[in-house]
Chains A and B, each alone.
Chain A
Amino acid sequence: MAAIVLTITSGKGGVGKTTATANLALALADMGRKVVCIDSDIGLRNLDVVMGLENRIVYDLVDVVEGRCKLKQSMIHDKRMQELYLIPAAQTRDKSAVSPQEMIKLCDELRPEFDWILIDSPAGIERGFQNAIAPADQVLVITNPDVSAVRDADRIIGLIDSQQKGPAKLVINRVNPSMVKRGEMLDVDDILDLLAVKLIGIVPEDEHVVISTNRGQPVVLESKSKAGQAFRNIAHRLNGEEVPFLSLDEKEDIFKRLFGRK
């Protein structure tokens, strides 16, 4: 086995990187793939809590890098899946505790054991981002349909290209189909036209995401959720399968049924 290292990044914070990482990790593991995810947001760790594994942390990424524990000891097994592990970030250190070279070395150690290594990148374009991108074979850029998220996505896509890590693939998260239909939200074609990048997923705004995150149960585990379906579709596309994009109208129908909107 030789894992593919997939880094999930965005430039802007709060667009759904950690949610995407958790959901794609669970979806890939649910497809029978061996998956490990690494939270590289040192000082602001969150992937543990989004996955619902926060009470099981003993060692973290910095402990591994600084030799206080073995790599295997830092890996928390997510028992909902046969082969899903998390290496949490340290909470009491900062981004400079790990170097890009150390991230490459760590991933090289993990590669033979896994199909996928998912790295949750911190926001920003500094050290934390450099750490997350250094070992990447593929990069997903998450954006939202708003001006600041799209602008920052463009910046990060440029940086990914300049470091020969491209072409990045785009996930547009939190699309509100009814606002798009009213012409009050950038639509998928607008964003693709602006960013000139390949699309790999469209995730509709979905209250199930908040509810499932509250519970520490990523939304892909929720069979009825549209966002969960969208993340499962992305996982299949990562796996090399052709999956058509959900149409916005279809999503709006669901919205109408759920909320009785006209």
Chain B
Amino acid sequence: MADWFMRMSGRARSAKLAKDRLKLVLIHDRTNLTPEILELLKVELLEVISRHVAIDTQAVKIKITHDGREQRLVADIPLLSVGQRTDQ
């Protein structure tokens, strides 16, 4: 029934919005990390890593995950192989 309402109204239910907003707010509250700082961190991190190894900067993913009340900064940084590098 709730799903039906959701589809008919075409508007997200407010509980879902509350949860999504809280998810972001709590990450910030727990870590003091704003999206801006996270972006800055990403730029600087890539800069340092690229000095030593070639990376695919377009495919880099940096995010905060949580397991219970534990926060984790997860960076997924694909490295370019020597072959790919010479192609560039």
Is A67 interfacial (CB 8 A cutoff)? no
Tell me the count of chain A residues lying within 8 A, CB to CB, of chain B: 23
Cα–Cα distance between A161 and B26 once the two chains are bound (Å): 16
Instruction: From B15, B23, B30, name the one whose CB has the most chain A CB atoms within 10 angstroms.
Output: B15
- Residues in A whose Cβ lies below 8 Å from that of B21: 147
Cα–Cα distance between A158 and B68 once the two chains are bound (Å): 12
Interface pair A194/B22, CB less than 8 Å apart: yes
How far in angstroms is the closest Cβ of chain A from B50? 36
Interface pair A196/B69, CB less than 8 Å apart: yes
Interface pair A186/B26, CB less than 8 Å apart: no
**Chain A positions 146-166 with a Cβ under 8 Å from a chain B Cβ:** 146-147, 150-151, 154-155, 157-158, 161
Tell me the total A-B contact number using a CB cutoff of 8 A. 54
Interface pair B5/A183, CB less than 8 Å apart: yes
B14 contact from A183, A187, A195, Cβ within 8 A: A183
Classify chain B's interface size: 20 to 34
Chain A, Cβ-Cβ closest to B19: A190
Interface pair A181/B2, CB less than 8 Å apart: yes
Using a CB–CB cutoff of 8 Å, the interface residues on chain B facing chain A are 1-2, 5-6, 13-16, 18-19, 21-23, 25-26, 29-30, 66, 68-69
**Chain A positions 172-197 with a Cβ under 8 Å from a chain B Cβ:** 180-187, 190, 193-197
Cα–Cα distance between A197 and B5 once the two chains are bound (Å): 31
Pairs across A and B, CB under 8 Å, 15 listed: A147-B25, A150-B22, A151-B25, A154-B29, A161-B69, A181-B2, A182-B2, A182-B13, A183-B13, A184-B13, A185-B15, A186-B19, A186-B22, A190-B15, A197-B69
